[in-house]
């Protein structure tokens, strides 16, 4: 997903799937408030069998720490945006 993120606006295209079948791809998500947010990865962070989004704030990374935010998703809707604590340089998502 990260390579598909619009570098100017930060918007991320979302594709709706049913298993391996493509349903639609006209939805775009806008990143958290402010510039510098990049998609770090996706996964089921909420334990609900749905794909969620992990965001990283690049501007805080330049200051020695990285702010992370997880969006638990319900289809194309952001169910719960959650800001995580800043993590120090050298931290990597697995």
For residue 6, being part of any structural domain is answered with yes
CA gap 26, 81 in Å, rounded = 22
For residue 36, being part of any structural domain is answered with yes
Range of the structural domain that residue 8 is part of:
2-88
For residue 94, being part of any structural domain is answered with no
Residues across the chain? 94
Domain count within the chain: 1
For residue 21, being part of any structural domain is answered with yes
28-87 pLDDT tens trace: 788 877 778 888 888 998 899 888 999 888 766 566 777 888 999 888 888 888 887 677
For residue 93, being part of any structural domain is answered with no
pTM attached to this predicted model: 0.75
CA gap 42, 30 in Å, rounded = 15
């Amino acid at each position: 997903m990260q390579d598909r993120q619009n570098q100017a606006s930060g918007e991320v295209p979302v594709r709706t799937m049913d298993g391996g079948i493509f349903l639609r791809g006209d939805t775009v998500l806008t990143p958290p408030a402010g510039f510098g947010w990049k998609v770090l990865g996706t996964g089921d962070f909420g334990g609900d069998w749905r794909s969620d989004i992990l965001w990283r704030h690049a501007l805080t990374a330049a200051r020695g720490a990285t702010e992370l935010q997880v969006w638990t998703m319900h289809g194309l809707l952001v169910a719960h945006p959650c800001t995580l604590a800043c993590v120090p340089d050298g931290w990597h998502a697995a």
